[in-house]
């Protein structure tokens, strides 16, 4: 991959950054953008919560949860009765009439009991493929949850990158302000020296003093913004808010493909499109499940059981013990459901039509965002190139004006103008570099290339 680097460095600025300026910054280990992102992913609560959502969704994806597997249950029970009984008992036959002779027998505390134990199997073997569709629906729901988490991760990466490069931007701006203040103080000392020999007026000294004060205020203001930016980054990466986090001030740019190739990446990898397509898949599966309500349901059942009964002394069979297997098949054919099935299908069809529109909308928005991001990136790269040329010209102009000023051939105001122009050009280059990098990251997000597959 071809890389381009930009850095705003001149000899005096390099000396400040290496030997002074930021105090113990040089001794502080630099935090890379990759490290900052990794820390933030561990700290971000929304992403951590979504990880549990993924685990929950994945735990639901199994065949038994969709009704594709049989159910097996062990059932048993027991009953006991203790009653007082009065029973008519045939005691014999009347020899004359041949009629049965009935005697009443009473008994107290007649005990009866029963017990059963069975292993029962139930399995829906066919219901219009509804269970198969439910399994696919569970898997698609888990995939959608993962894609939603991926979107959160991408948003978090861009937030961290913005905070990271904002800190780097202000670090460079602070160094530039320091350099500018040094130049202003050198000019003040030079003018004061000239005033002692009557070469410069007191007005020139006052102007130089005002410029020193102005640059000092600007340095303090930049320092405050710098510390605020450092705390913002520390918050995102889970560090102590007052930690002296130091970032890499250099930026590398990767080679960006042409727009046609990027469009292909958008159509296959864009998070919004993929989320919409997965939602459409869920809607289609819901429609298939609803349509299965018109099909018959075929179920099989079987059991193996043990049964025991103590029927008491008055039963023809006082005790019974049985065991064995039983099985059967049941078919349920829907004929009329009060329009419940038809209404469910109609509602699911509406969901499919809606999801189709959402996919088309996501595709159009992603392609629009791609073109905006692509041309913004190209413009920022061109602006960066032009700002580099501006810094070169402003630097040459400042050096020549400084030489002429020290020789008495240029006024103090001309020196200040050249100094301010150089500072403005360097700050614009500083801004342009980070703007270009952030626009590159935005382009990567739209094409789905910000995260590895």
Cα gap 54→421, rounded to integer Å: 55
pLDDT in tens, 119-163: 999 999 999 999 999 999 999 999 999 999 999 999 999 999 999
Q: Which residues does the chain have with pLDDT short of 50?
A: 1-27
Cα gap 273→267, rounded to integer Å: 7
Strand extents, DSSP E, 1-54: 4-6, 30-31
- Cβ neighbours around 219 below 10 Å, total: 17
Enter the DSSP assignment of 86: E
* Residue boundaries of the structural domains of the chain: 4-61+127-295+337-446, 74-124+297-333
State the virtual CA torsion across 336, 340, 342, 345 in degrees, nearest 10.
-140
CATH level 3 topology of 4-61+127-295+337-446: Outer membrane efflux proteins (OEP) (1.20.1600)
Enter the DSSP assignment of 327: E
Predicted local confidence at residue 310, as pLDDT: 85
Length of the chain in residues, anyone? 453
Helices (H) and strands (E) in the chain, counts: 9, 8
Closest CA to 436 of 385, 380, 378: 380
Cα gap 349→353, rounded to integer Å: 6
DSSP assignment of 244-283, as one string?
--EE---EEEPPPPPHHHHHHHHHHH-HHHHHHHHHHHHH
Closest CA to 441 of 233, 154, 209, 227: 154
In angstroms and rounded to an integer, the radius of gyration of the C-alpha atoms of the chain is 42
- Given 3-state DSSP classes, what are the helix, strand and coil percentages for the chain, each rounded to the nearest 5? 60, 20, 20
Residue 428, Ramachandran bin (φ over 0: left; ψ between -120 and 50: alpha; else beta): alpha
Tokens at 175, concatenated: 């160094």
Closest CA to 324 of 156, 117, 164: 117
Runs of H (alpha helix) within 309-411: 340-406
Query: Is 436 in contact with 380 (CB distance < 8 Å)?
Result: yes
pLDDT in tens, 305-360: 999 888 777 666 778 888 999 999 999 999 988 899 999 999 999 999 999 999 99
Query: Is 222 in contact with 174 (CB distance < 8 Å)?
Result: yes
Closest CA to 436 of 233, 258, 253: 253
Cα gap 413→5, rounded to integer Å: 35
Q: Say what the pTM is.
A: 0.80
- Strands 246-247 vs 30-31: parallel, antiparallel or unpaired: parallel
Query: Is 374 in contact with 262 (CB distance < 8 Å)?
Result: yes
Cα gap 297→124, rounded to integer Å: 7
E strand or H helix at 131, and its extent? Answer: helix 130-196
E strand or H helix at 203, and its extent? Answer: helix 202-237
- Kindly report the CA angle at 247 between 241 and 249, in degrees rounded to 5? 145
Strand partners, 31: 247
- Cβ neighbours around 29 below 10 Å, total: 8
Residues near 164 by Cβ (< 8 Å), separated by ≥ 6? 33, 36, 233, 247
Predicted local confidence at residue 197, as pLDDT: 84
């Amino acid at each position: 991959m071809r890389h381009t680097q930009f850095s705003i460095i001149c000899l005096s600025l390099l000396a400040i950054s290496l030997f002074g300026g930021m105090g113990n910054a040089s001794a502080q280990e630099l935090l890379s953008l990759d490290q900052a992102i990794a820390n933030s992913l561990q700290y971000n609560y929304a992403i951590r919560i979504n990880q549990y959502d993924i685990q929950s969704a994945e735990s639901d994806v199994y065949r038994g949860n969709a009704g594709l597997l049989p159910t097996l249950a062990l059932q048993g029970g027991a009953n006991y009765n203790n009653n007082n009984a009065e029973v008519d008992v045939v005691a014999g036959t009347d020899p004359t009439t041949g009629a049965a002779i009935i005697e009443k027998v009473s008994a107290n505390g007649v005990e009866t009991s029963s017990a059963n134990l069975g292993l029962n199997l139930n399995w829906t073997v066919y219901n219009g493929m509804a269970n198969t569709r439910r399994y696919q629906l569970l898997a698609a729901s888990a995939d959608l949850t993962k894609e939603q988490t991926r979107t959160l991760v991408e948003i978090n990466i861009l937030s961290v990158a913005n905070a990271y490069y904002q800190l780097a931007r202000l670090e460079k701006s602070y160094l530039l302000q320091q350099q500018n203040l040094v130049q202003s103080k050198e000019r003040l000392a030079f003018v004061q020296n000239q005033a002692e020999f009557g070469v410069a007026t007191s007005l020139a000294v006052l102007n130089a003093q005002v410029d020193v004060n102005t640059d000092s205020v600007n340095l303090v203001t930049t320092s405050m913004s710098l510390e605020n930016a450092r705390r913002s980054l520390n918050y995102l990466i889970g560090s102590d808010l007052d930690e002296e986090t130091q970032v890499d001030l250099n930026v590398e740019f990767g080679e960006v493909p042409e727009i046609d190739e990027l469009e292909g990446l958008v159509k296959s990898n864009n998070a919004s499109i993929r989320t919409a397509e997965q939602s459409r898949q869920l809607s289609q599966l819901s429609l298939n499940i609803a349509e299965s309500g018109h099909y018959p349901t075929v179920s099989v059942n079987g059991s193996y059981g043990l049964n025991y009964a103590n029927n008491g002394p008055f039963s023809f069979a006082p005790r019974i013990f049985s065991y064995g297997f039983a099985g059967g098949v049941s078919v349920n054919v829907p004929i009329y459901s009060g329009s419940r099935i038809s209404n469910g299908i109609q509602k699911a069809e509406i969901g499919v039509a809606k999801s189709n529109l959402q996919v088309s909308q996501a595709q159009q928005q992603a392609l629009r965002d791609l073109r905006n991001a692509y041309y913004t990136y190209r413009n920022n790269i061109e602006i960066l190139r032009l700002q580099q040329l501006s810094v070169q010209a402003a630097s040459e102009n400042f050096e020549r004006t400084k030489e002429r000023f020290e020789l008495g051939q240029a006024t103090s105001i001309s020196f200040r103008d050249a100094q301010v122009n150089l500072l403005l050009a360097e700050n614009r280059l500083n801004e342009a570099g980070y703007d270009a990098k952030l626009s590159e990251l935005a382009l990567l997000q739209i094409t789905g290339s910000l995260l590895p597959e």
